[in-house]
Chain A
Amino acid sequence: MARPVATDSSHPRGRRARATRTLARALLPLSGIAVLVLLWDVALRAAGGPSQLLPRPLAVVLAIAELAQKGFLVKHVVASLFRVTWGYVAAVLLGIPLGIVLGWYRRGGMALAPLLEILRPISPLAWIPLAILWFGVGDISAVFIIFLASLFPLTLTAMNAVRGVELVHVNAGRNFGLRAPELLRRVIYPAILPQLLVGLRLSLGIAWLVVVAAEMIAVSSGLGFLIIDARNAGNRYDLVVAGMVLIGVIGIALDAMMRSLERSKALAWGYTAAFEADESRIDRKAAAGAAVVP
């Protein structure tokens, strides 16, 4: 029943067009960065002499090299990732089951949702004084802040996703004799997984934002500490910007990692389903000579 679709993929012009598109897709994102760095450098040269307001791009590269050479690069990056991992994993382990249960048992949700909604808009950074009071200056405080920062969005995502599960699927599960624990595992959990993956990615992004701020106050290592320390201990703005660049690069890597999970078909059936409606995707599928099911 699967039949190959004849398209222009065999045609030389089609092949060339496709190669151009692939190249463009790889180069365009980089070209934006290149233009920005160029403008940055040109503007500073035009201003003349060493600027007090911003280090030159080359100085930032050299600062990163200096950090790498002295071993600070690995030390600070690992310290930040360590705190994010523990705080985030704890939030995932607590927040997702909690959200599922609150979404499923309406009364529990009605009792706790307003509390969560009130706590959510409080910036996690507002918790820093209490965190230091409770856990002292150190890793535990920073981990706690990250835990809180990820916990609320994760719980609410899971809760709302459960409430949005289609009644047909719940009824079908019940029809096959499933009750609460099994129904949650075999119907509710897979049904909400696509939304959970998006929630996981967004809250990891929040955790990474927060770790930098937490490290500026609560600890003496990590990328946040690097930035604040470089300023305080000698106005090394090349190191400050180097820290910022590292935060951005690691952030984008974390995001890409989570996105690749979202693309997995078995995990994120919703992603593929949503894309099926996207015509460009259908085009590409046909162009690749993929089987089209009637």
Chain B
Amino acid sequence: MMPAGGTKVRIQGLSKSFHTNGHEIRVLENIDLDVRDGELVCILGPSGCGKSTLLNIVGGFLPASSGEVTIDGLPVREPDPRRIFVFQERGVFPWLTVEGNIGFGISGLPPKEKAARIAHYVRLVGLEGFESAYPQELSGGMKQRVEVARALAVNPDVLYLDEPFGALDSITRLVMRSELLRIWEAEKKTILFVTHDIEESCQLADRIVVLSARPGSIRRMVDVDMPHPRDLSSPGYLALRDSILEEIGLAHRI
């Protein structure tokens, strides 16, 4: 486990509603959450429960209807290069090569330093040999790694991941999860990870925040006190997974 630091991200009394055709749709209701420095928190919930909206508000892309998000004690008002949002692999710029994408956020650095930084993150995500490939020449998993590398290259202190592995096949997804853990342990970032995948949250998180269906509110928080790498067939892991299945109200048999 990572050593838990002080509070990094604080979400207080956060609510969000959208207005469409004169109707008010309440998406999030009264969310309170403190994320510690260096913690990996999974926000787990069914489709349409507002978990992506929550992440977009925390990232500064959407305003909250009420309540507040602060990071290091300062309110979030707009996107900030110190906290990078990783979209599904769609966020990679298709007009730039792998190198161009990874170097996108560090264009202000001296060329030598920039090249070194790019090379470091190309290696970290295992894309050596593909530096000058364009995204359309890469597989979904490789594009996803480009996006993670692009985020890490600006050395942010927080990463927001919005179902980053949702579009990948199940084998690639498993590989990407262990890569993410490896990178997280090497780079010591605070990570907010949104997913609808129970297994994924059990495999990755220090803490799982279970959201209810819309309007999303926090239904339960589960501390996962298991070191990485986690044994996916150990009784502890299975008990955790089952308790969350139950919490969400899903049967154990199909």
Contact = CB atoms under 8 A, between A and B. Distances in A.
7 contacts: A166-B90, A171-B87, A174-B78, A175-B79, A269-B95, A269-B136, A293-B138
Contacts of B84: 175-176
A293 B142 CA distance: 10
Interface string A150-182: 000000000000000010110110111100000
B139 interface: yes
Nearest to B127: A1
Contact of B94 (A174, A269, A294): A269
B79 A168 contact: no
A175 B85 contact: yes
A175 B93 CA distance: 13
B94 to A, nearest CB: 5
Given A177-B80, A191-B93, A269-B94, 20 more contacts: A1-B129, A169-B91, A171-B79, A171-B85, A171-B87, A172-B91, A174-B79, A175-B80, A175-B81, A175-B84, A175-B85, A176-B154, A177-B105, A186-B104, A187-B93, A193-B95, A269-B95, A269-B134, A272-B134, A293-B130
B238 interface: no
Contact of B93 (A169, A270, A273): A169
A190 interface: yes
Contacts of A1: 129-130
Contacts of A169: 91, 93
Interface string A250-276: 000000000000000110011011001
Contacts of A53: none
B129 A294 contact: no
Contacts of A175: 59, 79-81, 84-85
Contact of A2 (B61, B129, B134): B129
Interface in A267-294: 269-270, 272-273, 276, 293-294
A185 B33 CA distance: 38
Contacts of B130: 1, 293
A190 B93 contact: yes
Given A176-B105, A176-B154, A171 B90 contact: no
B133 interface: yes
Interface in A173-226: 174-177, 186-187, 190-191, 193
A283 B125 CA distance: 30
Contact of A168 (B87, B138, B142): B87
A272 B137 CA distance: 9
A203 B72 CA distance: 53
Interface string B58-91: 0101000000000000000011110011010011
Main secondary structure of the interface of A (DSSP, over half): helix
Contacts of A176: 81, 84, 104-105, 154
B139 A293 contact: yes
B134 to A, nearest CB: 6
Contacts of B93: 169, 172, 187, 190-191
Contacts of B142: 293
B81 A265 contact: no
B61 to A, nearest CB: 6
Contacts of A265: 134
Contact of A293 (B90, B91, B133): B133
Output the residue of B80, B94, B95, B137 with the most chain A CB within 10 A.
B95
A265 B132 CA distance: 12
Nearest to B141: A294
B94 A273 contact: yes
Nearest to A171: B61
Contacts of B104: 176, 186
A169 to B, nearest CB: 6
A172 to B, nearest CB: 5
Residue among A175, A187, A190, A276 with most chain B CB within 10 A: A175
Nearest to A172: B91
A276 B136 CA distance: 8
A269 B95 CA distance: 5
Contacts of A273: 94, 136
Nearest to A277: B136
B63 to A, nearest CB: 14
A62 B210 CA distance: 84
Q: Which one of A169, A172, A276, A294 has the highest number of Cβ atoms from chain B below 10 Å of its Cβ? A: A172
A191 B95 contact: yes
A293 B134 CA distance: 11
Interface in B78-132: 78-81, 84-85, 87, 90-91, 93-96, 104-105, 129-130
A1 B129 CA distance: 8
List the 10 shortest-distance A-B pairs measured between CB atoms, nearest first.
A176-B105, A190-B95, A177-B81, A175-B79, A273-B136, A269-B95, A174-B79, A168-B91, A269-B94, A172-B91
Contacts of A2: 129
Nearest to B85: A175
